Chain A
C-alpha cells in the first residue's frame, strides 16, 4: 500500500476530479436547458419531433471518442473565423469542445423521456385539466409536468451517467478529466492509475445516479425529505469537487504531451526545468497527434516535444525523404513561416517508426532489412499503434518495399512488444527509442531504401512564447542533452519499474544529464 503511485494518484485527484465534475455539470446543465424546452416544442409537431429524436439518436451512435475529437477541428475553424471577422479568438481546446460534445451526448435520454413522459399522461387527466378551467400553460405546469417528472428524472439519471462516463474521453482534446489517469496509466503501464481513474469515474457516476434517484423518489412520492437530501448531496459533491479546480491557469505555461510514455516523461522533464527556474506550468496530457500541433500554433499549449518526420509527413504532406539535417532545417523554416511556431532545437535522439521482429524469427527467415521482409510479408502478420496504419509513413513503406501482410492489427503500443515476443504477431511497427525493443529481444529492420523520413525529437514553442526569454532559457539545457541510449533507458524504466512515474523518471533523466 506504500506504492508511491497510489500517493501520486491521490495527489492528482482534486485536479482531475474537479475538472471532470466541471465539464459534466456544464454539459448536463446545457443539455437540460436545450432538451427540456425542445421536448415541449416538439411534442405537438410530429415532423420536428421525429427529426430531433433522429438527430440525437444518430449522435448517440457516434463513439464518444470520435464525437469529442470531431469538435476540435470544428471549433478550430470557428475560432479562426471569429478571429478574422470579429477580431477575437477563443480556445478550441479543452473545455469548449468537451462541453459541446457531451451536451449533445446528454440530449437523447432527456428529450426522449420528456416526450414519452408527457405522452404517457392519461387523456382523461388532460381533459380534466381543461375542464376545471386550466389554460394550456397551467395544464402543463400544474398537471402534465408533475406527472411526467418521474419519467423525465429517469432520463436525466441516464444522461448523467452517460456524461460522467464519456467525459473520461475528453482528455485527448485537452480537457483534464478522470480520463487523464486512464490515458496516462495505459501508456506508462501504471495499472494503479488506470484502476484509480476507472474507480473514481464509476463512484462519481454511482453517487450521482443514487442522489438523482433520491430526488426521483421524492418527486414521485412527494417526499420533500428525499428531494432535499438528494439536491443537497448533489450540491455538496459539485461544490467540494469544483473548489479544487485551480483558477488562474492563464498565468502559467501549458506543456503538451501526446499519449505515450516518452511524451509523458519529457513533459514532466520540461515542467521540472520550468519549476527550477521558478516558472509554474500545467500539462495537457494525452493529446492526439492530429490535435497537438494545431493546439500549439493556436496558443492553447505553449511547448511540447515533436518529431521532425511527423511534421514532415503529416503537416507538410511531404513524401520525399531527405537527410536528417535537411529535414530539420526545412521543418524549422516551415513552422516559423507558416505558423510562427519556433523550433528550439533537437533533444539529441530520434524516435522513428521501425518495423521490428524477434531476433529468432529474423534469424530463421534471414531477414535484416525491410527489402528482405517484403519476400515473407504475405505469410506474416503485423501490428501497429492506432495511428500507424493511417499515417503516410505506412503508405511509404508499403509502396517502397511492396509490403503486403497476411493481416494488420491495431493495438495499444504498450502491448505490441510483448505480443511480438509471444509471437502473437510476427512484425510490429515499433519505435526506435523504445526501451522495450531490447527488453523483449526485438530487432529493428533497416529502412534500406529510406522510405521513412528522420524523426529527430525537437522542442517546439508556440508563437506567443517564441520570444519569452525566461521561458526559453529554462528549457535550453535540455537541447542536445538526451541521446538515444538515455531515452531508451528512461522509457524502459516506465515499463519495467512498477513504481516509476513520469515524474520520477524525469528526475532520474535530469540527474543523468547533469552528470555529463
Chain B
C-alpha cells in the first residue's frame, strides 16, 4: 500500500465529493451489464481533473473502450452516473454532447467523400459556424497538427496513415472542445510516426489546455504520455495512479505484470547499448 498511500488522501476526497471544481469528468459507481457487443464494467469510479491526460490501459476485453464511450454517450451505463463539466450526461442530448467533446477514432474514421478541410470542419459545421470561421479554423488546425495547408483540398485516400491520423486529431480539436477522447489513436502507425505524433499531441494537450482521455493497450505509451493511468482488468478498475507511482507499485501482481514488459524491454535495450547482448 506504499504507493497508494501517498495518493490515498486525494482519492478518498475525490470519491466523497465527485463534483469538485477541478474535475472535468467524473465516473461514479458505473456498471455496464455484459452484452455480446461490448465488454462489461463493474462498479467503476474515476475522476479526471481539468487539464489532465489520463490513459486507460488493460488487456483486450477489459472494458477500456466501453469506459471511454460512456463519456460521450456512445455507450450508456446500466447503473451509476457519468458527469461531464459537472452535469450528468444522461440529461444531455447525445449529439449535442458529442459536438463539445473531441473524439479520435482507432480506425481514424475520416469521411472519404470529404476533403481534408471539410473533414476538419465537420463538427463546427454541425454547430452552425459560418463558412469563413470554419475555413480559418481548419487552416489554424492543419498548421497546429504540423501539416501543410496545401493538403486542405485533398481527399483522405491521398494521405499517408500518419497524415490521416493528424487530420483525425485536427478534426477532434476543431470545435474547441475542452475534452478530447482518443481510442488507440496511434496503434496503426509505424513506430517512428507513432512516436512523433504522440509527442506532438502531448504538446498540443498542454498548449490548448484540454483534458484528454486516451485508451491504449501499450503500457509504455501510457507511461510516457499520461499524467495518470487507469488500469482495468475484467471490467474492474484495479489501479489509478501516476506513471511514477505505478512503476514503483509492489502490491498488485497484475499491475506489476503490466509494468514488466516495458521494464524488461528497457533493461534489454540498455544492456544492448552497453554491448552486452542478452544480459
Contacts and interface: CB of A to CB of B under 8 A. Distances in A.
Interface of A: 122, 124-125, 127-135, 138, 142-143, 146-147, 222
Interface of B: 72, 74, 95-100, 103, 105-113, 122-123, 126-127, 171
Given A127-B105, A128-B105, A133 B111 contact: no
A418 to B, nearest CB: 60
Contacts of A147: 111-113
B122 to A, nearest CB: 5
A322 to B, nearest CB: 75
Contacts of B107: 122, 124
B109 A133 contact: no
A132 B122 contact: yes
A124 B103 CA distance: 13
Given A127-B105, A138-B126, A132 B99 contact: yes
A134 B113 contact: no
Contacts of A142: 122
Given A125-B112, A143-B111, A133 B98 contact: yes
A132 B123 contact: yes
Contacts of A134: 95, 126
B109 A127 contact: yes
B113 A132 contact: no
18 contacts: A122-B107, A124-B107, A124-B108, A124-B109, A127-B105, A130-B98, A131-B72, A131-B74, A131-B103, A132-B126, A132-B171, A133-B95, A133-B99, A142-B122, A143-B113, A147-B112, A147-B113, A222-B113
Given A128-B110, A131-B103, A131-B105, 11 more contacts: A125-B109, A125-B111, A125-B112, A128-B109, A130-B74, A130-B98, A131-B74, A133-B95, A133-B126, A135-B95, A143-B113
A138 B171 CA distance: 17
User: Residue among B74, B99, B110, B113 with the most chain A CB within 10 A?
Assistant: B113
B96 A133 contact: yes
Contact of A133 (B105, B106, B113, B123): B123
Contacts of B123: 132-133
Contacts of A133: 95-100, 123, 126-127
A16 B144 CA distance: 64
Contacts of A222: 113
Nearest first, the 10 A-B pairs at minimum CB distance are A128-B109, A133-B99, A133-B98, A124-B107, A131-B103, A135-B95, A146-B113, A124-B109, A132-B123, A133-B126
Nearest to B96: A133
A146 B114 CA distance: 10
Nearest to B69: A131
A124 B96 CA distance: 20
Nearest to B72: A131
A138 B96 CA distance: 13
A125 B171 CA distance: 14
A346 B105 CA distance: 84
B111 A128 contact: yes
Contacts of A127: 74, 105, 109
Contacts of A146: 113
A143 B96 CA distance: 18
A165 to B, nearest CB: 32
B176 to A, nearest CB: 13
A135 B110 CA distance: 17
A453 B274 CA distance: 115
Nearest to A126: B109
Contacts of A132: 98-99, 103, 122-123, 126, 171
A222 B157 CA distance: 14
Nearest to A220: B113
A69 B171 CA distance: 58
A146 B106 CA distance: 23
Nearest to B111: A143
B68 to A, nearest CB: 11
Contacts of B126: 132-134, 138
Contacts of B127: 133
Contacts of B74: 127, 130-131
A147 B112 CA distance: 8
Contacts of A130: 74, 98
Nearest to B97: A133
A131 B109 contact: yes
B89 to A, nearest CB: 14
A382 to B, nearest CB: 63
B113 A124 contact: no
A172 to B, nearest CB: 45
B92 to A, nearest CB: 12
A128 B171 CA distance: 11
Contacts of A122: 107
Nearest to A149: B113
Contacts of A135: 95
**Of listed A132, A134, A138, residue having the most chain B CB within 10 A:** A132
Nearest to B102: A132
Contacts of B99: 132-133
Contacts of B112: 125, 147
A138 B123 CA distance: 12
Contacts of B122: 132, 142
A130 B108 CA distance: 14
Contacts of B97: 133
A36 B80 CA distance: 42
B180 to A, nearest CB: 12
Nearest to A222: B113
A134 B119 CA distance: 13
A131 B111 contact: no
B98 to A, nearest CB: 4
Q: Which of B97, B111, B127, B171 has the most CB of A within 10 A?
A: B111
A129 to B, nearest CB: 8
A74 B97 CA distance: 55
Contacts of A124: 105-109
Interface centre among A127, A131, A146 (most CB of B within 10 A): A131
Contacts of B96: 133
A490 to B, nearest CB: 65
A335 B230 CA distance: 93
B111 to A, nearest CB: 6
A134 B74 CA distance: 12
A134 B97 CA distance: 10
A220 to B, nearest CB: 9
A134 B127 CA distance: 10
